[in-house]
Amino acid sequence: MAGLSGVPIIILKEGSKRDTGKDAQRRNILAAKAVAEAVRTTLGPKGMDKMLIAGEEATITNDGATILREMDIEHPVAKMIVEVAKAQDDEIGDGTTTAVIIAGKLLEKAEALLDMDVHPTVIVQGYKQAAARAQKVLSEMAIDVSGDERVLLKIAQTAMRGKGIEIAMDTLAKISVDAARAVAGFEGKDIEENIKIVLIPGGRIEDSVINYGIVIEKERTTLEMPKSVANAKIMLLEGTLELKKLDTDAKITITEAKNLASFKEGEELVIRSQVDAIVAAGANVVFCEKGIGVFAQNYLARLGILAVRRVKREDLKMLALATGARLVGDVMVVTSKDLGSAALVEERKIGKDKHMIFVEGCEKAKAVSIILHGVSEQFLEEMERALDDALNVVMDVIRSGKIVPGGGAPEIVVAENLRQYASTLEGREQLAVRAFADAVESIPLTLAENSGFDPVDSLAALRAKSGQGMKNFGLNLITGEPADMLALGVVEPLKVKTQAIKSATEAATMVLRVDDVIAAKREEMAPKPGQSPHDYTRPPMQMPHY
């Protein structure tokens, strides 16, 4: 609404809602803080779990990425925070909770600065300066550990602590390191592109293993086919081994019985020639993306070829990476160069009535499978989430070679450095830089609180050690006292910390830049001819709740 000579001019539809200035910023900050508060208590190895209920299914976890993904969030600003957290998870695979907590605290501190009449632009500028400085400090305190397997195991164990699977931590840490090192040369964007996790309820946790090949949740097409093939030569077929169906308008007229027999013989001849081409190329195992007809099944079985049909596209790609085979669309042009190899392809019975195809012993496999055994599906899902975090952080360290101590040590060092840096600034940006330092310190503060220790005493003790130049000292969550994190083996990838700072800063500055929130009125859909206006309205539009 604008005024002209005292007469109001309305530019929004009646029923629209608008918040401007500090009111809009406060409400947005409140929404972002609510998201941070939802995951704050899950931080650290002693963090609490959340129960997420969807219908009749319940998921119990303290994985920040899972919690935020499953929460049914409606407020647009809260969704922005979740999206930034998702970006952290997609980019690094860990540190989501850390990023959200820092973002929430940055906005809480910004709210106090707004009350002091510090302009949002000044706060944003100060936060950006502080983030750049923090990145530099973290890089300077990083330690190069390229190729050190012991450090990789410690990294994996740190990522899995507090996930409720401590009983399996040593086994899973070793598996995650072996799997990550096996595929580290493959520059896939997502680790899911070349590491497949297969969950098998039942058995002991110690039975979990890494398979240098791929496990397919399928069974051989017919029981007449061989159950296992050693020294397998594998063909990956994108097409089908059955005749294509005729178009709906197509029609074939056969007037005599002998013509029908000739027609069927012609069809069989086509399939026979395709299977003969497979044999000529040297393949004894075929994975087919689409169907395999009955005649093709029988002919393949007579020739001793193991075939699997309707294999997922993703599994075919992973088989290609593992075996070295090429995906082919036409079997008539396949040569031996298109085939992959494996020491063994075998169908095995899993549980009471489930069968899977195991492709094992692939030399120089760029894709592997991890087979997890557990007492229940819920426990297996938590194992998978913990293993996914471990795989991502181990891969980060293999590729970057840089780590920092854990336990809140880097946050304390960054905070102390930022306070010194703030004293060199003359404008109001120094207030924002100090606020940034306080926000970063919320990580060791939360770790102490979640572990049952006095957060103020713990923070004071950590600051004292940092002031003495002991930069590797973080919070020992068993004793509550400062301790050398490198000596304890509590370490984290540098990329997790730098990306968390970056993600949190982006989220906070994005929210602070919004000073006007306009919520449009929900409109009703016009009724159809002859229909009462009360019979039909547009489905409810999700509106922000303040």
Amino acid occupying residue 286: V
pLDDT of residue 311: 92
Question: How far is the CA of 382 from the CAs of 135, 374, 379, in angstroms?
Answer: 32, 10, 5
50: left (phi over 0), alpha (psi -120 to 50) or beta: beta
Give the helix/strand (H/E) hosting 483.
Answer: strand 482-484
pLDDT of residue 232: 93
Looking up tokens 């009724």 gives 527
Are 43 and 443 contacting, i.e. CB atoms less than 8 angstroms apart?
Answer: yes
Is residue 207 classed as helix, strand or coil in its secondary structure? helix
pLDDT band at 357 (very low <50, low <70, confident <90, very high): very high
Helices (H) and strands (E) in the chain, counts: 17, 21
Lowest mean pLDDT among 178-182, 255-259, 273-277, 423-427: 255-259
pLDDT band at 347 (very low <50, low <70, confident <90, very high): very high
The phi and psi torsions of 477 (rounded to 5 degrees) equal -80, 5
Rounded to whole angstroms, the maximal C-alpha distance in the chain is 100
Looking up tokens 């840096």 gives 421
d(CA 97, CA 66): 10
Are 432 and 114 contacting, i.e. CB atoms less than 8 angstroms apart?
Answer: no
d(CA 384, CA 371): 10
The phi and psi torsions of 425 (rounded to 5 degrees) equal -90, 150
d(CA 2, CA 457): 54
Q: What angle do CA 63, 67, 73 make, to 5 degrees?
A: 160
Domains and CATH numbers, the chain: 14-144+404-514 (1.10.560.10), 213-364 (3.50.7.10)
pLDDT band at 14 (very low <50, low <70, confident <90, very high): low
pLDDT of residue 272: 86
Give the model confidence (pLDDT) of 176-235 as tens digits: 888 888 887 765 556 778 889 888 887 788 888 888 989 999 999 999 999 999 999 999
Catalytic residues: 63, 96-97, 389
Lowest mean pLDDT among 294-308, 425-439, 524-538: 524-538
d(CA 399, CA 146): 8
Q: What angle do CA 7, 11, 17 make, to 5 degrees?
A: 110
Is residue 449 classed as helix, strand or coil in its secondary structure? helix
Q: Which of 511, 541, 507, 509 is nearest to 524 (CA)?
A: 541
d(CA 121, CA 126): 9
What sections of 282-339 are H helices per DSSP? 294-302, 313-323
Q: Which of 473, 480, 429 is nearest to 456 (CA)?
A: 480
Give yes or no for residue 259 having a pLDDT over 80: no
526 Cα distance to chain centroid? 43
Q: Which of 502, 213, 223 is nearest to 349 (CA)?
A: 223
pLDDT of residue 106: 92
End-to-end CA gap in the chain: 21
Give the model confidence (pLDDT) of 75-130 as tens digits: 777 777 887 777 777 777 777 888 889 999 999 898 889 888 888 899 999 999 99
Looking up tokens 């557990």 gives 374
pLDDT of residue 337: 92
d(CA 370, CA 38): 32
Radius of gyration of the CA atoms of the chain, in A: 30
Give the model confidence (pLDDT) of 15-32 as tens digits: 555 555 566 777 778 887
Q: Which of 521, 363, 509, 392 is nearest to 14 (CA)?
A: 521
Q: Which two tokens stand for residue 31?
A: 């929404």
> CB under 8 Å, gap of 24 or more: what pairs does 43-46 form?
43/97, 43/98, 43/101, 43/443, 43/446, 43/447, 43/450, 44/162, 44/446, 44/447, 44/450, 44/451, 44/477, 45/161, 45/162, 45/477, 46/162, 46/450, 46/451, 46/452, 46/477
pTM, 2 dp: 0.72
d(CA 476, CA 490): 9
pLDDT of residue 263: 45
What secondary structure, in 3-state letters, does 83-151 show? Answer: HHHHHHHHHCCCCHHHHHHHHHHHHHHHHHHHHCCCCHHHHHHHHHHHHHHHHHHHHHHCEECCCCHHH
Q: Which of 272, 289, 337, 283 is nearest to 305 (CA)?
A: 283
The phi and psi torsions of 153 (rounded to 5 degrees) equal -65, -40
pLDDT of residue 252: 53
Question: How far is the CA of 17 from the CAs of 3, 257, 511, 546, in angstroms?
Answer: 18, 77, 19, 11
Q: Comparing 140 with 4, which gets the higher pLDDT? A: 140
pLDDT band at 7 (very low <50, low <70, confident <90, very high): low
Is residue 4 classed as helix, strand or coil in its secondary structure? strand
pLDDT band at 247 (very low <50, low <70, confident <90, very high): very low
Give the helix/strand (H/E) hosting 237.
Answer: strand 228-237
Give the model confidence (pLDDT) of 133-174 as tens digits: 999 999 999 888 876 788 888 888 888 877 667 777 888 889
Amino acid occupying residue 480: G
Contacts of 94 (CB under 8 A, 6+ apart): 159, 389, 392, 393, 493, 496
d(CA 216, CA 203): 19
